[in-house]
Amino acid sequence: MSFEHAPVSKGLMVGIGLTSILVSVFDVKHYFHLQLVPHISRHYQYWRLGVHHFAFSNSSDLFIAEIILYNIAVQIERQFGTLKFASFAVITTLLATLLEFISLIFFHRTGLNYIPSGPSALIFSILYQYSRIVPSAYTFRIFGLPLTNKSFTYVFALQLAVSYLPGSAAAALLGVLAGQIYRSDLANLKGYRIPPWLAALASRYLLPLLGSLRPARRSNRALPDPPSEAASRQNENEEVITTARPAPSPSTAAPRARVDASQRQPDQRPGGVVREWVDGLTGRSQPGIRIPTDAEITQLTTMFPDLQRDVLVGTLQRR
């Protein structure tokens, strides 16, 4: 699978990877998580609501997120179209941010005071669309448990959801809720599209930075590649093993042919059945062999048109 017809998915994966690496290199990871107390309630750092979606705090979460995005985002973007998928990403990110802020306010007394960094809500929102739109290709069983080809993606998503409990689980649930709200078309969210000038700007300046989106060209050659020089020399030095009988020399071929001719039985000579038929007509047939008539041969030929004439004649003679 390639990124053909999926530039937003590729840009999202590249962007998350670059920002996560830069955040780790410059040691500013503590600015990219969302915490109600004291960052928002005391220091009024509301910019954390948007910044915490840009990067993951560790490499394991980044690796799992990239695997999930590669398996689900490309297919959803091809289903939606690039413009609609970009608009979907913007809407669900804003909606998930609002839901996270409300959840922190109402549930911080129960232990929900921290949302880990990373676009987990967007990933689970795309995952919800993937579960509703993309059908499974095949099913199988492990220890009697029925599974599909999509089960491995859900396992990776579950690992991402339980990495930093309860904040990671809250981000996953809110992402699924945001995707469900978008799919239900509440407040006509499906009809929103990013401005044309922004799409043109991204297509002109950002799309060339992503490189080629076309899949690798498949070879149409039907023959294998020629062997290398070292392989040719090795094949020349190897001994050829064959089970075929060696060809007889000219000096021994003629005596062996005479011996075979002398040991051949009379009924094994070439054209034995035809010769017997001719001998029968001319009176030189062996005693005890009956000569079939033309009517009998014609009758059997009509009954068994697939059999040869010499087979029918031999059958009538042995009757």
Summarize pLDDT for 215-226 with one digit per residue, the tens.
767 666 655 666
- What's the pLDDT tens digit per position in 58-107? 889 999 999 999 999 999 999 999 999 999 999 999 999 999 999 999 88
CB 281: neighbour CB atoms within 10 A? 10
CATH number of 7-210: 1.20.1540.10
Taking the C-alpha atoms of residue 24 and residue 15, their distance in angstroms, rounded to an integer, is: 14
Lowest-confidence region among 142-156, 157-171, 233-247: 233-247
Taking the C-alpha atoms of residue 76 and residue 201, their distance in angstroms, rounded to an integer, is: 23
Q: Which helix (H) or strand (E) holds 140?
A: strand 139-142
Q: Is it the case that residue 237 has pLDDT exceeding 80? A: no
Q: Is it the case that residue 277 has pLDDT exceeding 50? A: yes
pLDDT at site 67? 94
pLDDT at site 259? 46
More confident residue, 267 or 294: 294
Per-domain residue ranges of the chain: 7-210, 265-317
Q: The tokens of 225 are what? A: 């590649």
Q: Which residue has the tokens 């910044």?
A: 51
Most confident of 17-31, 214-228, 258-272: 17-31
The overall average pLDDT reported for the chain is 80
Q: Is it the case that residue 241 has pLDDT exceeding 80? A: no
Q: Is it the case that residue 158 has pLDDT exceeding 50? A: yes
Share of the chain above pLDDT 90, in %: 34
Lowest-confidence region among 181-185, 253-257, 291-295: 253-257
Share of the chain above pLDDT 70, in %: 76
CB 153: neighbour CB atoms within 10 A? 19
Q: Which residue has the tokens 């029925």?
A: 146
